[in-house]
Structures are given as C-alpha cells and as structure tokens.
A and B are shown apart, each in its own frame.
Chain A
Amino acid sequence: MEIVICRLSAVITALSLSIIFLISPASILAQPDKYEVLAQATRLVNSGDLEGALVLYRQIPAPQENEEGGVFVRSRMEAAKIYFSMKRYDDSEQMCMEILRIYPDNLEAKNLIKQVATAQTPKWLGFLKDMQTYLPTLLRATVMTLILVIITMIVSPIAGLFIALGRISRVRFVSSIFWCYIWVFRGTPLLLQLFFIYYGLPPLGITLDPFTAAVLGLGLNYSAYLAEIIRGAIESIDPGQMEAAKSIGMTYWQAMRRIIVPQTYKRLMPPVGNEFIALIKDTALVSTIAMVELMRAADQIFNATFNIFILIQAAIIYLILTSIFTVSFKKLEDRLGVYENR
C-alpha cells in the first residue's frame, strides 16, 4: 500500500513537473509564440482594437543577448506608430527609445522621433522652419528674377529710344512701322506674347529655350512701353530747343543726341521707374513658360508644403526689390536734375 502511495505521489510529482515543464518553456523561451503574439496584435489592429494591440505589442520582451531582435523591434515600432497616430507623442517616443537603447543606430526609430519632435512643435514654428529651409531656394530663384529685370532694364530703354525716334520720324513709312510695333505690343497682354514666343514659334520652326523666350518677351514688351514714354518726353521738350540747336548749325541727329534726348533723362525717371517696378512684378509671368524664377520657385514650394508663409516670404522679397528700385530711381532723378533751379 505504501509502495502504491509512494508510486502515486511520484507519478503526481512527475506529472506536475511535466506540466510545469510543459508550460514553462512556452512562457520563458516563447520562441514560437513571439510571432503568434505579433500576428495576434496585427489582427487586433486590423479589427480596430488599437489599445488591445498595444498591450500585446508591449508584451514582447526585449531580446536576450545573442537573441535575434527583429520581432521586438517590429513590435515597438508598430506601437510607436500607433501612439503617434493617437497623438500620444510621449509614449511613441518612449517606444522608439526602447529600440534605440538596444539598437542605437536604428534609422526607423530615429526618424519617428524626429517626426514626433516636428509634430509637437506648433504649426507656425514648423512654417518658420520651412521658411528657413527654403530661403536659399527662393534666393537662388530671386537671382534669376533679377537677371531678367536687369537685362530688360538695359535693353528696353535703348530699344525704346530707337523706336521712339522712329515713331516721331517725319518719314511716314518709318513712323507707321514703329506705330504698329507699339500698337501691337502695348495692346496685347504680356502673358499672351510670352505664350506666343515660347509655344507659338516652335511650330513655325523657331524653338527658344525658356530663358531666351522670357528675355525676348519682356524686352519686346517693355521696349514698346518705354518707347511711348520716351516719345512723350521728347515731345515735351520746348521746340525752341531744336530751333536753337539747328540755328548753330546742328543736324537733326546732332540736336537729338546732344540737346533734346539728354534733357529728357530727368523727366523720364519717374515714369520709367514706375515701369521698372511693374517689370519686377511682371517677371512673375515668365513662370508660365517654365522659367524658374522667384514666383515659380515659391509656387513649387507652396504646392509641396502648403505653407502660406512661403508665399509671404516671396512677397517680402518682391517688396524689398521694388523698394530698392523706388529709392534708387528717386536718387537718380535728383542727381539728374542738378541743372534745375528748385
């Protein structure tokens, strides 16, 4: 009987031990079940039970030494993302930190921490950061805007003077040619002219790159405007000046060059200054023919970031440019007027 009881207890012990042994390897080593938990968690995520999934994810322990840690990283990353989407940024950051404590170089975790940082900064601060980030791009584009402005500022007064002189020619034929030129270029939108040059000429066998097309369009258009201003200025000079010049034996062209045109410089400054300020703004139109200048750069960045401050920044750059021009032209006007008694 004793033997039987002994045997029984031994069996029970063995059984219980075997039960313990049967269960404990699963909870201590858990080699196959990590995956099961992960899969379970994923199922919960898919069914919408985020909290449940989070609990499961966090159950997956950190890997022991020499143990493969992929599942752990995966679980913490998933948890971090879920926290991030729930705007629980501290928890999200903590999940990432757990990964980084073991794998300090994990890129994914690092990136998410950065995102957490960005998400936690207020929106306007983010916008300000954008402005800082994109300022160099905008400034590079501003250089292109300035190049267009300066080329047009050099070309159009010279061409404008010739057109104006042609326009006031007493030879009917010459004057009507220039009249037509002015009529066309002042009477149609600059945008249309640019389109015509860039998109309309290739079918006629003339293909221009955006820069050439932009310079040509702005130059032709502004020459026409300046021609009318210069013509007005020339005609506003007292005809007695021409008579006096001729009376000392000057030819018409000598009189124009030495006497009449120089007297227009000062009175040209205010209207020409206005034109050039309009020009700075009009360069924005060439963004439509694939020219990357300030407007187009700002537009591109805006479309990528939807950051209204980029547009404000571009506006400020335009304002700075126009202000510099306004002041310079006023200075120039004063300097050109030294011979006047004020």
Chain B
Amino acid sequence: MIELVDVVKRFGDFVAVDHVSLNIEKGEKIVIIGPSGSGKTTLLKMINFLQKMDSGRIMMEGEEVGYRRDKKGRLILEKPEIICRLRSEIGMVFQHFYLFPHMTALDNVMEGPVTVKKQSIKEAREIALDLLGKVGLLDKKDVYPAFLSGGQKQRVAIARALAMKPMLMLFDEPTSALDPELVGEVFNTIKALAEEGMTMLIVTHQMGFAREMADRVIFMDEGRFIFEGHSQDVFSDRMDNPRVKAFLDKVL
C-alpha cells in the first residue's frame, strides 16, 4: 500500500536515515524499535511529509507521490495542496500528544473534518462523538486538554487522527511520556484499533506492542534497518544479532 524506497535524510553531514526501504501492506502492523537517535521519528515524519527526504521515493498504491525532481535531479516537495491531501490520509500520534490546548476534546477531534475536509459541523460532531466513545472518553468531550490525564490526552489524540479516516496510522512512542499506570489504557486503545484491521506503524520502546500486535518488528540503528522479522524471532532464543540483543537486554 505504501512503500519507501532507498529513503535518505541528512541533517548537515549527519545521516539520520540511511537508505531505508520499507513496504507497508494494507492491514499490516509494523513495530519499529531501536535506540535513541537512531532515526525512527525522522522516518515517520518523512512518511507524513513533515520532513523532506533528501533522496529516495515514496510510493502510494504503486505510484510515486509527494515529490518532483528539478533539472539536477534534486527532490522538491509537491505543492502544499497535494502534500496536505496526502497527509490527511495518514494519521500521526505523537509522544507528547500535541493536542490543541485551546479546544475541548470534542473540538480537537472535530477540527480535521471541519477545517480540512470541510464537513458540516453536525456531521463532524457525529464522527467525533463516535470516536470519543470508542476511545472511552465521551464524558470528557467538553473538557480542555489541560484538565485531562496523559493517558486521556493520548486517547483524544488518537481519536483526532482517526477522525480523518486515515489509511495508515503512525505512532511515535505513544506511551513514552505516560506514567506507567496510564500506559495500559493507551495500549489497549491501540490494540483495539489493530484488531479492527487498521494499518499501523508503531515506534516504541514498549515491547508489549511488538509482542502482542506486531506482524513485523524492525530494529533500527544509526539510520538503518539492521534487523527485520516476526516478533517470535525477535524475542526467541534464536535471536543472534548482538546489537539487537544488547538493546533488548537493556529495555526488557
């Protein structure tokens, strides 16, 4: 469904993502793990065009999207309208939620449908109420984010992304900023979403995601995929990649 081919991102001389290729099939759940600074967030942002890649290709349904090339072959981001349309089809959930603080939970979820999709308030409201119910926060619909717990904020953020009816959901460490006792509620929300068949790419340090919902686990280090496999492979004794092993020993 979405495919990255040889994607590279540099910050100055530093190569944050180094020739990465990834094919995401419809309904697939991919978990990316790896040490801090290995380029996971950068990779997610490039899929969402929040970061411009330096070279490579992004394909959607077999067609290259999002970039043009100038005469020297350098990549240029497409016009904003095109990029925005692409983005609206990909949901993203951030480590620090980034809820809109000046809007209630309900308005946060309605914002995309109303402003981007130009849906009617009534229609958007129905969708938003439905989604808030799904993440178990219907009673908080009129509450501002500042008055929500971290777990509740992240569930509203998930509902906000889902309101755009995305074909792919990107999660960037969705539980890392949460108190341990709040991780479960967000985990369960994402798990329920996975069971509905949502295509997901999850960056996490939480091995539960890899164990319980990953079709595929990717280990990323220094901008590269250094291991890819089923979750059984990663956590089995047969795991022989020393870097993956060292990392797992640390986080488990």
Q: Using a CB–CB distance below 8 Å, which chain A residues touch chain B?
A: 238, 240-241, 243-252, 254, 258-259, 262-263, 338-341
Separation of A251 and B117 alpha carbons in the complex (Å): 12
Which of A248, A251, A340 lies in contact with B111, CB distance below 8 A?
Answer: A248
- Please determine whether A259 and B161 come into contact, CB atoms closer than 8 angstroms: no
Chain B interface residue count, CB cutoff 8 Å, equals 35
Chain B residue at minimal CB-CB distance from A253 = B80
Separation of A249 and B85 alpha carbons in the complex (Å): 6
Assuming A240-B98, A241-B100, is B88 touching A248 (CB within 8 A)? Answer: yes
Specify which chain A residues have a CB less than 8 angstroms from the CB of B101 in the assembled complex.
Answer: 263, 339-340
- Jot down 15 A-B pairs with beta carbons below 8 A, ordered by A: A240-B96, A244-B92, A244-B98, A244-B99, A247-B50, A247-B161, A248-B91, A248-B116, A248-B164, A252-B80, A254-B116, A258-B111, A262-B102, A339-B103, A339-B145
Specify which chain A residues have a CB less than 8 angstroms from the CB of B65 in the assembled complex.
Answer: none
Chain B residue at minimal CB-CB distance from A245 = B100
Separation of A238 and B238 alpha carbons in the complex (Å): 44
CB distance from A237 to the nearest CB of B (A): 10
Separation of A248 and B98 alpha carbons in the complex (Å): 12
Separation of A8 and B94 alpha carbons in the complex (Å): 147
A244-B94, A247-B94, A249-B112 provided; 18 other pairs, C-beta below 8 A? A240-B94, A244-B92, A244-B99, A246-B50, A246-B87, A247-B48, A247-B87, A248-B87, A248-B91, A248-B111, A248-B160, A248-B164, A249-B89, A251-B80, A263-B100, A339-B144, A339-B146, A341-B144
- Please determine whether A250 and B98 come into contact, CB atoms closer than 8 angstroms: no
Specify which chain A residues have a CB less than 8 angstroms from the CB of B50 in the assembled complex.
Answer: 243, 246-247
Within 8 A of A (CB), among B165-220: none
Chain A residue at minimal CB-CB distance from B116 = A249
Separation of A340 and B87 alpha carbons in the complex (Å): 29
B77 contacts the other chain (CB 8 A): no
Q: Using a CB–CB distance below 8 Å, which chain B residues touch chain A?
A: 45, 48, 50, 80-81, 84-85, 87-92, 94, 96, 98-103, 111-112, 115-117, 144-147, 157, 160-161, 163-164
Specify which chain A residues have a CB less than 8 angstroms from the CB of B45 in the assembled complex.
Answer: 243
Separation of A212 and B85 alpha carbons in the complex (Å): 47
Specify which chain A residues have a CB less than 8 angstroms from the CB of B144 in the assembled complex.
Answer: 338-341
Specify which chain B residues have a CB less than 8 angstroms from the CB of A250 in the assembled complex.
Answer: 84, 112, 115-116
Separation of A287 and B146 alpha carbons in the complex (Å): 48
Separation of A249 and B91 alpha carbons in the complex (Å): 9
Separation of A125 and B115 alpha carbons in the complex (Å): 67
Specify which chain A residues have a CB less than 8 angstroms from the CB of B111 in the assembled complex.
Answer: 248, 258-259
Assuming A248-B88, A251-B80, is B98 touching A238 (CB within 8 A)? Answer: yes
Separation of A340 and B85 alpha carbons in the complex (Å): 32
For the complex of A and B, the 3 pairs showing the least CB-CB separation, nearest first, are A249-B88, A244-B98, A341-B146
Chain A residue at minimal CB-CB distance from B93 = A247
- Please determine whether B102 and A248 come into contact, CB atoms closer than 8 angstroms: no
Specify which chain A residues have a CB less than 8 angstroms from the CB of B163 in the assembled complex.
Answer: 248
Separation of A26 and B234 alpha carbons in the complex (Å): 145
